[in-house]
Amino acid sequence: MDNPSFCSLAENDRVEMLKRIGIDSIDDLYADLPAGLACDGLDLPQGISEMEMLRELGGLARSNRDDLVYFCGAGIYDHFIPAAVDPIASRGEFLTAYTPYQPEAAQGSLQAIFEYQTAIVRLTGLDVSNASLYDGGTALFEGMMLAINHTRRRKVIVDAGVNPIYRRIIRSSSSNLDIEYCEIPLQNGLADRAAIEAALDDETAAVLLQNPNFFGCIDDLSEIAEQAHAVKALAVVSCYPQALALLKTPGEMGFDIATGEGQPLGIPLSFGGPYLGYMAVTKKLARKMPGRVVGISEDGAGERGYVLTLQTREQHIRRQKATSNICTNQANCALRAVIYLSLLGKEGFVDVAESCAANAAYAYAKLTEIDGVEALCEQPFFNEFVLKLPRNAAEVAGEMLKRGVAAGFPVGRYYEGLEDALLMAFTEKRTRAEIDALAKDLKDVLGTGGVK
């Protein structure tokens, strides 16, 4: 920047560009910006060297806690990731391949997406999966919008057991749309059949549910799916993928649309992303599903080839009729998911689910023995449940962090009146020794002095 000719050349370029677009100054570019949003400039520090930058970033990285024993859940889970996932997903052939837009391009990426779709179809028991969405919350929003567009109705019934973060995403993403939301409180930790049936009418587009729900409770939701179909509404459910190894699938329960968060499928904990939203639907809804669908075909020589069967979402295909305004799938995260599932295999995936359930059952027995601690809901659970504590759960969780334990998610953050409730999750990574230590630390923090 010390070279006058360089500065002059840059200024000349700037003047020429402004002239080409018909304005006199850079300020004219922002003339439509409200005055209250404008600023005179950014107060940025002077640049530093590469060595200084690495030292600064290293110091920030060391402030992260990677030594915690993790019992948090609420949609994001600490599962074991086989060592082979990283090197396979990091191969240059995958990392350099652009998101496929044309059927003849990037056969390896198209095949990986096809295998991913196949895995999701088998997990959910539905007919067709897309090439993935941003995350579990936006996937549920897309499922809701599919139902609205399919039925041409505007009313949506939402069960209070749906992850409150997902419910916020749905309301935020649809804030400019004319949608009537009807939230139904839980009954004893489960979806209230009678209340949902009473709310259903010929204006209802969809019923949104979750299994296991946010409180960890598992349920057979077949009856609610039937209730929705009775008024020609669609049934949409968000599912924890590992739980599908043991529970009745959305397809078996009669759901039209299944969505969920794919982070537990080989994607590490990373401050909320990038993650992976999955979606599967019945065959009749395939052409209205957002995103891409990859299929198998044959080329002129009779060789197998992978092609983009559908691109219903893309603006360059459907423009204003696009099924969604999200243009990119999470192909690399989907790749990690299918690698993870392939490495585990069908039996291994079931083993992981059974280990999670066994750890949760052991923890439930140990923790509910502590004086003053009791279950919030007396319902079956998979690997997650809520405990009522004799103290504020957020304060208890904070004290447990000082002991190196991420003890759970304070439910009162989203549910008024449950400030003493702590949501706890147990994956195959947790050992009985860690669970025993959790019980001991929790008893000490609560100061209860013993067991029941």
- Residues 40-56: b if buried by 16+ CB within 10 A, e if exposed: eeeeeeeeeeeeeeeee
Helices (H), ranges, 127-192: 136-151, 164-173
Going by the DSSP 8-state scheme, the letter that residue 187 receives in this structure is B
- With respect to CATH, is domain 69-76+345-446 assigned 3.90.1150.10? yes
Predicted confidence at residue 4, as pLDDT, reads 43
Bridge-based pairing state of the strands 155-159 and 180-184: parallel
Q: Which residues contact 420 (CB under 8 A, 6 or more apart)?
A: 388, 389, 390, 391, 392, 393, 412
Phi and psi angles of residue 85, each rounded to the nearest 5 degrees, phi first: -60, -50
Count CA atoms closer than 13 A to 200's CA, side-chain side: 22
Give the pLDDT of residue 45. Answer: 87
pLDDT value of residue 149: 94
Residues of the chain short of pLDDT 50, as ranges, are 1-7
pTM given for the model: 0.88
The beta strands (E) that lie in 7-146 are given as 69-70, 128-129
The yes or no reply on domain 85-340 and CATH 3.40.640.10 is: yes
Handedness of CA 383, 386, 387, 390 (dihedral sign): positive
Tokens 């979806």 sit on residue: 191
Q: What are the residue ranges spanned by the domains of the chain?
A: 69-76+345-446, 85-340
What pLDDT was estimated at residue 101? 59
pLDDT at 2: 44
pLDDT of residue 105: 61
Asked whether the CA dihedral 201, 207, 211, 213 is positive or negative, the reply is negative
The reply to whether 69-76+345-446 and 85-340 are identical in fold is no
